[in-house]
Amino acid sequence: MSATTFSIFIEAPPEQVFPFVGDLLRHPEWATDKMKMEAILSGSISVGSQYGSTTNFKGMVVIAELQVVEYQPPTRFAFKVDDRTGRYAHEFVLHSQQGGTLVERSISNENTDIISKILTIILMPILIVPESNKALRLLKAKVEQA
């Protein structure tokens, strides 16, 4: 299934933005819902690093396993998420621009069953898009305050 992409301009260079998006332990700082994130093994971030998260998403507790699949500071970061609703891919691309950074976040549903595809089509515009845009606004505020 194709990815849905969100973007925001942040008045800071990619080197200041990347630590907030390229470290999953920092995602709770700008998440829209209460989130707990833990590294499965300690150490530096790299492709293959694994995490566990617990999120209270609109009153529903979602427990997930995450794995870093791309780590290229300060421009690219991607991870996969597996939870009870399926498997999803998240990708961040940071573009240096005059006066700051354009952050693009893409989310794609990697589930192949028809029910997941239908739910994505229904839920993407009413839940995922607004929440993802809100999260990017929180990220912007967090980075620009730092």
CB 10 within 8 A of CB 103: yes
Residue in the block written with tokens 């354009």: 102
How many domains is the chain built from? 1
Binning the chain into helix, strand and coil, the percentages to the nearest 5 are: 30, 45, 25
Domain of residue 136 covers 4-145
35-54 pLDDT, tens digit each: 999 999 999 999 999 999 99
For the stretch 73-98, pLDDT in tens is 999 999 999 998 889 999 999 999 99
* Residues 107-140 pLDDT 10s: 998 887 777 777 777 776 777 788 899 999 999 9
The model's pLDDT over 2-43, given as tens digits with 9 standing for 90+, comes to 788 999 999 999 999 999 999 999 999 999 999 999 999 999
What's the CATH code of the domain at 72? Answer: 3.30.530.20
Task: Name the pTM for this structure.
Answer: 0.90
DSSP per residue over 48-83, as a string?
A: T-EEEEEEEETTEEEEEEEEEEEEETTTEEEEEEEE
User: Is the pLDDT score of 1 beyond 60?
Assistant: no
Cα atoms in the Cβ-side hemisphere of radius 13 Å centred on 28 = 13
- With the C-alpha atoms ordered 22, 24, 29, 33, is the resulting torsion angle positive or negative? positive
